[in-house]
Every structure is written in structure tokens, then in C-alpha cells.
Structure 1
């Protein structure tokens, strides 16, 4: 007895269509894409950048899908509440400490995430920067699961020649790859600090006389001067994360609390912004290693810095 079941031409075409559509979806990866979208974590990365180092690192950690947010822009807009699966923060250490604006941000922020990581950039010595950030962030109720550092070109003009700094191989790609792997695996880890590094930081604080609760918070008008070489291009008015520069009818003027990030002096195309000499010999004294050498991260454009720090928006 025959067991064949006859089907109509219409049903046969419908079945063939279903098979073809299924094959196309499978071959295009749409099934796997939908699966990945369902599992993909939302990642937000906050950053502070003066010469592009931290913006470059933040971009690498973000990949294609994370949201990058400028700390100066968030502070300007008064935005401090954020929620995501993963929240990261990238900032430069000055004197082994976080900038004052970064401190302000973390003290006011409410960061809700199952995994939080921080990457601190430095150029010469990191000392106990990891422990300093851990104390500050924990006190603010924003403890981080992962805190690591990465050495970059040192843009500290008083002590370093930018032309010499960019020649040094600091193994940035290799170090960055390790950090990326750690974070993608949601590793819980704080970079170890030695007793020698703690002592080095204490010695620096004694020599500099800086307030450990404030760090490098200066006054722009006391630290910088604008010379006659200025052509009123206005770049400084865009790249300063505090908006301290103003283009007036009598040229560029500067005043206000200064993070000492050097975004202004490093990005001035005419080298018209210079350090003001300290009259009383206090730190910093206004000296510079090489007044003719300037630096911006090779992967970051001037427009990138303008968009990151522009306080006119």
C-alpha cells in the first residue's frame, strides 16, 4: 500500500520558499547576529583628555558599540546618573592623582553597573595612583572592579621634551591588548602597588606642596600667558575643558580654575601660549624643557579634542 501523501502545488511552493528564506538567513548570519544582540552588554566609557591619549585609549576599549562620554561635557550639563551593564572610566594621572574635574565627577556620579573598570594613563611614574583612585571612588560609593594603568607619551612639558618622548617605544599596543582582554573577560583586579611607589608619591607631595584632596587645580591666569604671536584663531577657546579662554576685541584672555591638562598650550598652532614664570619660585615655576616642541596623540585630530572639550555647546 502506498504511503505517499499528495500535496498541492501551492503548498509545495510555500515549503520551498520557507527553506530558501531559512537558508538565506542562516548564511547571512542573521540568526547569530540576533543571538549576539541579545547577549551583548551595554558599555559606557567616560574619559578626560587634554592631548588625546585618553580619548585614544577610550576608543580602543569601546570598540564599535560602546558609548563614549566626555567628562567635561557631562559636568557642564550636570549629568551624573548612568546605568549600563559595564561602565568604564579613562583619565590621565597628574602627580599620580586624578584631575580635580574627574574627582568632582566621581563624587557626584551615580554609576549603576554590574562591572566597573578604570584605566589610568601616565607617562613616567604611576606610583600609587591605583590605590589613590580606589580610595576616592570607594568613598564616593563608586567602587571599581578593575583598575589598571598604561604608560603613554608623557605630555608634562616642564620636565619632558615632546620630540624625545614620541621616539620612546612604550609598548602601547601590547599593553593595551592585555587590558582589553582583561576587561572583556570582566576580570576583577587592581594593579599592585609597591611600598617604594607609595614613598615616591609621598616625597613628590612634600616637594610640590600640593593639596592631596585637590591635586593640580591651578589658576589659568597665573599659569599661562598669551604672547603677540597669537593670531586669534580661537583654538584654545574650544580645547580647554573648563572654557577658560575667551577671544575678545583685545585678543585672547584666560582666567579661571585650570586642570593643568595643557590642552591649550599643546594645541596652539602658533605656540603663542606660554607658561607664566613664577615670581615667588612656587611649584610649578613656569620652566619648560623644550618650548618649541608640542604633542597631540597621532590617532586623535584637533577636531576630536574640540568636540570632547568644547564648553560653548
Structure 2
């Protein structure tokens, strides 16, 4: 045997040790597990939330390698460049349309992913919300592979009593299970829309007078008022996704474009924020089904909403 092929006793022991470790890892399955983990897809889920419904759904759709990002926070930070294997968006429909901030975000965002999905939350009628999002996102240069809806507690205070809404079983776990399976399986599907649903939406737009290219975007000072019940707790200044509220020497004041997400009025502990009555009878007219009932998703804390929407920092 030549000297080139000889190894020292120490090198031989090192090689034997490495072989033993490699065999142990392989037999234990750790090698295959590490390989699987390396292949896990990265998922980003954007969300917009006022009372927690969409944040709850976004969390349920999040897997181990998922990043949850608040749209109001991304807008505040001016972040619009994102890349992942899968990118999703979860938002509540307002008048069957996306919140204005969601609409503007998707127009600016550059989403690099092999799979795009959207889940729209609603409380009563979804109408043609799926088609509306498909059109909005396509105009922004994005084609979503999957668009579905899920019914939740309806937080539209003018028409619904929150106490009664929370009593209704809307089969959220069952519906969520199907959506989760669809998305995890990379399903390409848009929830069907009927002609009746399209007509219902058109009727709503005619009655409301809203601009279909804008959706809900109403001046907060014309929509809400703060009563003497205000204790200057400042919650409204944290949960408004547009940062419309501030504390002054005369209590909480608001101004600016309002998404009508109701984060302020639903989360005020004193019920001091109320709808301002419409003097000319225009939509919305300031009426409320039950002024004593308020709602926040039971799985979402007030701190969760503050972190999601805070525009102060």
C-alpha cells in the first residue's frame, strides 16, 4: 500500500464517528424531516381588519412559515415590494367592495409569488364581491388564482343588532376548513356569482350613491360624533387604520377620510362615539339598530387591533 492511501489513527476515528452520526440521523428520520422543512413554502398573508374578523381568518390560514402583515401598517411604512411562494389577502367587504385602503394597496403593491389567493369576509350578503375583487386586482396587474368568501358576524351597525348577530351559528369552522384545504392544496378557483347577486349589488349602488371606483370613503367628522361620555382613554386613536382620531383638551376629535370599518365606534368602551345624524337624509343616515350593542371578534384582543391599525408611531 502506498503512503498516499494511509491515514492516521485519529483521522480514522473521526471518519468512524461521522459515519455513526450520519447513520443515526438517517435511521431516526431527522434527515428526511430536515429535508421536508427546507422545502416548506413561504406564505405571506396581508389583512385589513376593523373588528377582528379578517385578522382571525388570516391567523387561521397561517402555517408555520407564514408572515402576517397588516395593510394599514404596510401603507404607513410605505412598503409595497413582497416576494414569497404564496401570497394571500384577507379583508372584509364593505358594500360588497374592498375597503378603499385595500384597493389602493393592491394598486401599488408588487407581489411576486407563484400562487395568489384572497378570502373575503362578510356578514349578510356577499353579492358579486368575488368578481369585484377579480376586476380590481386584474386592473392592478395581478391575477388571483383563488378567491373565496366566508360569512362572519355582521358588524354593520346601521342594520344589525350585534347581540343578535353573535347568537347566529354561521358555521365558521366548517367553512374555514374547506377554504384552508383549498388553499393548502393550491386550488385554482373563483367562487361562483349569480346574476341575482349582481343585480342586488347594482341596486345597492344606486341606493347608496357610492362611487364604484372608490367604495366607502366618507369624511369621519361628518359621520361620527363624540359625546360627553368620552373619558379620554385614547383607544380610538390607536384602532383607526387611518389615524383619524386625536386627543385634545376638549376630548377626542376626528377628521379625515373614513373607511367605515367601525373600529372606533365598536371598540369605544364608553360607547361615546356615535353616528352623526344625516340632516339631508343622504346615505348613511346615522341611524343604528342597537346603540347599546358592540362587537369585536371573540378571538381577537383590543391590543391585537391596536397593533394592526396604530398609525401613531
Q: Deviations over 1:168-223 (max 9, x none)?
A: 00000010010010000111000000000000100111111111111111110000
Look up the match of 1:5. Answer: none
* Equivalences for residues 260-275 of structure 1 within 5 A: 260-275=260-275
Look up the match of 1:53. Answer: 53
1:99 aligns with 2:99: yes
Secondary structure in structure 2 of the residue aligned to 1:119: strand
Q: Deviations over 1:209-259 (max 9, x none)?
A: 111111111110000101000000000000000000001122110000000
Give the RMSD, CA atoms, in angstroms: 1.8
* Equivalences for residues 91-240 of structure 1 within 5 A: 91-240=91-240
Distance between the aligned counterparts of 1:43 and 1:169, measured in 2? Answer: 30
Q: What's the CA shift for 1:33?
A: 2.9
Q: What's the CA shift for 1:144?
A: 0.4
Q: What's the CA shift for 1:55?
A: 0.3
Look up the match of 2:282. Answer: 282
The verdict on how the C-alpha distance between 1:27 and 1:169 changes in structure 2, with shifts beyond 3 A counting, is: farther
Secondary structure in structure 2 of the residue aligned to 1:111: strand
Q: What's the CA shift for 1:148?
A: 0.3
Look up the match of 2:33. Answer: 33
Any gaps of 5 or more consecutive residues in structure 1? 1-7
Distance between the aligned counterparts of 1:100 and 1:37, measured in 2? Answer: 38
Look up the match of 1:82. Answer: 82
What TM-score do you get using the length of structure 1 for normalisation?
A: 0.94
Distance between the aligned counterparts of 1:132 and 1:14, measured in 2? Answer: 65
Secondary structure in structure 2 of the residue aligned to 1:266: helix
Secondary structure in structure 1 of the residue aligned to 2:69: strand
Any gaps of 5 or more consecutive residues in structure 2? 1-7
Secondary structure in structure 1 of the residue aligned to 2:87: strand
Q: Deviations over 1:29-56 (max 9, x none)?
A: 5323321222111110000000000000
Distance between the aligned counterparts of 2:136 and 2:28, measured in 1? Answer: 48
Q: What's the CA shift for 1:261?
A: 0.1
Distance between the aligned counterparts of 1:16 and 1:166, measured in 2? Answer: 65
Q: What's the CA shift for 1:63?
A: 2.4
The verdict on how the C-alpha distance between 1:26 and 1:226 changes in structure 2, with shifts beyond 3 A counting, is: farther
Secondary structure in structure 2 of the residue aligned to 1:169: coil
Look up the match of 1:244. Answer: 244
Distance between the aligned counterparts of 1:263 and 1:29, measured in 2? Answer: 49
Q: What's the CA shift for 1:268?
A: 0.4
Q: What's the CA shift for 1:134?
A: 0.3
Secondary structure in structure 2 of the residue aligned to 1:75: helix
1:299 aligns with 2:280: no
Q: What's the CA shift for 1:76?
A: 1.0
1:43 aligns with 2:43: yes
Distance between the aligned counterparts of 2:288 and 2:26, measured in 1? Answer: 62
* Equivalences for residues 5-16 of structure 1 within 5 A: none
